[in-house]
Amino acid sequence: MLLPSLRSVLLPPYRVARRILAPGLRSSQYDYEDELCLAVTPQTRWLDVGCGHQVLPKWRLALERELTARAAHVSGVDPDREAITKHRTIKDIHVGTLEALPFQAGSYNLITANMVLEHLSDPGRALKEIFRVLAPSGIFLFHTPNANGYFVRVIKQIPEGIKRPAARLLEGRAGEDVYPAHYRCNSERDILNLAAASGFEVSFIRHVSTNAVFGSLLPLAIPELLWIRATMQDQRKRLRTDIIAALRKPGTA
């Protein structure tokens, strides 16, 4: 438990630096939440793909409970059987992959994926399955790293053997929550091409900034915050760290 305790000591100075160097910067999870809050209604039949053991980060449990209670029905699917047995809000849980979803066509009118698409080796096949399982006019909403952002460019250079301890130190993530990433649906161009090939209409693609990866290592966080502030300018938005997008299945429900 040393690392989480160390992070709790190191993060307050980062928050001061963030307020000074990148005013208005926040976790991209809040931007994803904003879209999720708009999408989930009492009529929503919702499937969270790659659900693991949570829909939102552990520090957003209250909102996760509110959203899952609001929807008409919520299901989750993930290939990691052990992870889904620990899910904190979804009761209707299934073992399965995005490339072969265990659901009938048109079963849901909202499908979501929070930091999942980067792990897909065959995103084209997965999008076709999501399209099949969505009802007409249904929405696929997802949050994923931007392949053109600095974080993905850096992480691709890190040997696999040190990614898990690095994620624990920098993000407080357990090693079992770190999975191989391929980044094959993680740029605006790739999303547009894959969406068109799968039959989707693009509702929006937004490039968003998020907290500094090196927030717990302040000397490294300072130049990172300066770069993030530069990308917060509209002319550099395609260099931001994350993407939030919504794809719509054509038709009338």
Question: What is the reported pTM?
Answer: 0.89
Distance CA 188, CA 207 (A): 9
8-state DSSP, 10:
H
pLDDT score at 2:
41
- Residue ranges of domains in the chain: 27-212+235-248
8-state DSSP, 52:
T
pLDDT of residue 163 exceeding 80, the answer is: no
Share of the chain above pLDDT 70, in %: 87
pLDDT in tens, 102-154: 999 999 999 999 999 999 999 999 999 999 999 999 999 999 999 999 888 88
pLDDT score at 166:
54
What's the one-letter identity of residue 199?
Answer: G
pLDDT score at 96:
95
Distance CA 98, CA 120 (A): 8
Helix (H) or strand (E) holding 234: none
pLDDT score at 174:
52
Share of the chain above pLDDT 90, in %: 73
Residues 6+ apart with CB under 8 A from 116: 49, 50, 98, 142, 144
Given pLDDT bands bounded at 50, 70 and 90, which one contains residue 1?
very low
pLDDT score at 12:
85
CATH number of the 27-212+235-248 domain: 3.40.50.150
8-state DSSP, 212:
-
Least confident interval from 73-77, 86-90, 153-157, 166-170: 166-170
Compare 170 and 1 and report the one with higher pLDDT: 170
What DSSP string runs through 78-147?
ES-HHHHTT-SS--EEEE-BTTB-SS-TT-EEEEEEES-GGG-S-HHHHHHHHHHHEEEEEEEEEEEE-T
pLDDT in tens, 197-246: 999 999 999 999 999 988 878 888 999 999 999 999 999 999 999 999 99
Helix (H) or strand (E) holding 174: none
pLDDT of residue 169 exceeding 60, the answer is: no
Q: Which of 5, 1, 17 is nearest to 220 (CA)?
A: 17
Structure tokens at 181: 């990433």
The sign of the CA dihedral 66, 206, 143, 127 is positive
